[in-house]
Structure 1
Amino acid sequence: MTRASSLLGERAVYVVGIGLHPYGFPSETPYVQLGLHAVREALADAGMHWPQVRSAVVGTAALGMAAGRVMLRHLGSTGLEVLQVENASASGSTAFRIACLQVASGEHDVVLAMGVDKFGDGRRAVLKDGLTPLSPTANVPLVKFALLARRCMRDYGLTIEDMARVAVKNHGNAARNPYAQFRKPRTMAQVLASALVAGDLTAMQCCPRGEGAAAVIVVSEDALRRLGVPRERAVRVLSSVASSEALPANDAPALVELVRTSSAAALAQAGIGAKELDIVELHDAFTIEELLYTEAVGVCDAGEGALYVARGDADIGGRCAINPSGGLIGMGHPLGPTGIGQVAEIARQLRGEADGRQHPGARLALAHMIGLGSVAVAHVLARA
């Protein structure tokens, strides 16, 4: 496949440092403590010092104004550029995209991209748009995906067990991830027996909300050499794409079409095909999403999402590991950090450093995140 033109194709961009604060349930821990833990871990991983960072892009959805500067000044006031980004679930992914483009453009050669969040008040702009909703649940994501799951069961023959199998896989992956919010493997019986929350979706088929932080350091080729970072621990960013929902030309759900078009654009920009991917980290806030999005990305053929999981193709060690971190369902979904956490997991996997959950021979990966609105942000990364 021919690589589409992009800044990232003209100027190499690398992830060289990763760090996380474990995701968890809401606590009294200040967000500053969560965020600085992740940043310090990323700096140590890269073998760098804070004054070497020339820009910081902070993704957060619930903390309020100026959270980034308030937090980062505790590392020292160095005069660096600080940006704060809110893009719902895609806040961290958007922060990472901006960091990559800053490096690719030559604006900066060492940039921190991070996400941090605590639970917050959860109030969304759609609830303040001045319009009377069609129903009290019209803007509730849980209800939206429960209805989508019911539609797929009716039209495509999906079963409750098909969806539950995704949760079993992702809880199992999360049990091997020291940064995950849920650290216990779950059986099919446990997933199906957990409380019904909407339609056919049980509690263990839905992601938790909580808190946490994730950070990555992005550098140019020149900075990679100047800083002496071992090339084998650098992960190259091949593409970065952002888009929003459009009206589909067919009867497919608009969100599924958004995943299809955005992932296709990211893969084209990287010059690879979907079936070349070894790892995909994607938005699985509800189990039905992973089944539909795996097909939409093209990792498996249309109509084969459930079979792909049932055969073990989506397992760590399978054809393409889907959400080896545990995904949103197992690792957690604190919003701001989620997309950065995906990139950190992919970098760890591509380096061969994901102890206890390493996907063998991983060399190409896709990080794909969607956010309310709906928006999509996708990145393809490769082992250097």
Structure 2
Amino acid sequence: MRRLTELRPVYVVGVGWHRYQYASETNHADLALTAVRDALHDAGLPWEAVDESFVATMLLGSAIGRPMLAPLGAHGKPLVHVENASASGSAAFRLACVQVAAGISDVALAVGVDKPGPVTRADTGIHALGDDIATVNSRPANHFSLLTDAYMAAHGVTEEDIARIAVKNHRHGSLNPNAQRQKERTLEEVLGSRRLTRSLTSLQVCPVGEGAAAAIVAGEEAVARWGLDPSKPIRVAASAAASEAVLSSDQEVSRDVITRALSEAQVPPETIDVFEMHDAFALEEALYVEASGIARPGEYLAMLRDGCFDIGGRCAVSPSGGLIAMGHPIGPTGIGQIGELTRQLRHAAGPRQHGGARVGLAHMVGIGAVGYAHVLVRP
């Protein structure tokens, strides 16, 4: 199996969003077109420059991309729809990178869009998501509640310690104009919000709203041919994907895919400046930071209390606000992470800027069974 780094270099040249928000009357096409036009403007590219498009969605049904993108111009170029649970956007971004790296396309678009609605899990036949990922009957909520109990028992930490993860991410989200939740929360507010399970409150889990995110990737030849601003392209140094093995856990899938991505990029964990991850439930942040090697098992929360994972700390973890504050509209989520890393590595993230950021890591999972990780590097 060949790695992305063995092919021609790939760069993120444009990113865009429609703000993640609670359900509204806004049409999904308007959400997506806002993000795509934002990304095209950011890149300085016309629509006709895009050779191939990958549309990520989970909640909107079949083949939405054709009518959705038609207002930009029906140019007859390849269009692929991608569904991979919460990792749909990450999968679409990886496919766009692979096409450019292989020389099949010079410029590729990954766009994710979704609106709240029920979806049925194929393996169970039951509704997995509605407008709130953390309903009392949610299998993920119960799963991570039990994992939270186990982590607290194993490492001698408290509910207050876990809740501080959400406090940090709400603080980061308050600085993000694209976030669904833009309000700082105190520890007392997080712990006092609606109790969902014994170990989880509503402000410790992500909202499932609506929104869109887009990322445009290109090869060096396209950057030169279209005369793009040389200060904007950010190198995709690694793209890794994995799925569960026999008897493996979702944490092991994440550890595997993060390890693969860091190895491919030849980046040691201690050099990661910015880390965007799948923190649908607060505990996940601790699990995945420890899985990355940035913190050793059981040490994450002590480092969090010391400010290591704040913007301006040792490694800015979820400076966007993460899924907990940025929101998790499903289809766009993984692409929005790429957008945040791109802004951070351009040193263009405004009040969320992590000083001197040069290396970023993005991580997503889909129902625990699939995992994606990307490493972006400032040239």
Please state if 1:148 is matched with 2:147: yes
Q: Which runs of 5+ in 1 are unaligned?
A: 130-136
Distance (Å, rounded) in 1 between the aligned partners of 2:17 and 2:64: 18
Q: 8 Å contact 2:4–2:239 — kept in the other structure?
A: no
Distance (whole Å) between structure 1 residues aligned to residue 324 and residue 96 of structure 2: 27
Q: Which moved more, 1:13-22 or 1:71-80?
A: 71-80
1:225 aligns with 2:220: no
| 3-state SS in 1 of match to 2:17 | strand
Opposite residue 211 of structure 1, the aligned amino acid is: E
- CA offset at residue 120 of structure 1? 2.1
Residues matched between the structures, number: 370
2:170 corresponds to which letter in structure 1? H
CA distance in structure 1 between the aligned counterparts of 2:4 and 2:261, rounded to whole angstroms: 13
Partner of 1:165: 164
Q: Is the 8 A contact 2:7 2:102 kept in 1?
A: no
Cα pair 1:368 1:378 within 8 Å, conserved = yes
2 CA distance for matches of 1:108 and 1:121? 35
Residue among 65, 87, 96 paired with 2:84: 87
Q: Which residue of 2 aligns with 1:380?
A: 375
Correspondence for 1:330: 325
Q: Which residue of 1 aligns with 2:270?
A: 275
Q: CA RMSD in A?
A: 1.5
Q: Aligned to 2:61, which of 59, 64, 71?
A: 64
Q: Distance in 1 between matches of 2:375 and 2:284?
A: 20
Instruction: Tell me by how many angstroms 1:222 deviates.
Output: 0.5
Q: 2:355 aligns with which of 351, 360, 363?
A: 360
- CA offset at residue 154 of structure 1? 1.7
CA deviation vs aligned residue, 1:42-90 (integer Å, no higher than 9, x gap): 0000111111111000110011111111201111101111000000000
C-alpha change, 1:5 and 1:79, in structure 2 (3 Å) is closer
Aligned residue type for 1:144: H
User: Which stretch of structure 1 is more off in the superposition, 112-121 or 99-108?
Assistant: 112-121
- State the match for 1:193 in structure 2: 192
Report the AA paired with residue 9 of structure 2. Answer: A
SS at match of 2:328: coil
Q: How high is the TM-score relative to the length of structure 1?
A: 0.94
Matched, 1:33 2:36: no
User: What does the per-residue CA deviation read over 1:308-357, in whole Å, with 9 as the maximum and x for residues that have no partner?
Assistant: 21110000000000000000000000000000000000000000100111
C-alpha deviation, 1:10, in angstroms: 2.9
Contact 1:285 1:329 in 2 (8 A): yes
Name the SS of the counterpart of 1:263 in structure 2: helix
Secondary structure of the structure 2 residue equivalent to 1:126: coil
Alpha-carbon distance in 1 for matches of 2:93, 2:206: 22
> 1:5 offset after TM fit, Å?
5.8
Any idea what the Cα deviations from partners look like across 1:118-161, whole Å, max 9, x if unmatched?
A: 012232223329xxxxxxx9971010000110111122212101
User: Retained in 2: the 8 A contact 1:5–1:269?
Assistant: no
Partner of 2:261: 266
| 2:152 alignment partner, SS class | helix
Shift of 1:247: 4.1
Paired-residue identity, %: 50
Matched, 1:52 2:49: yes
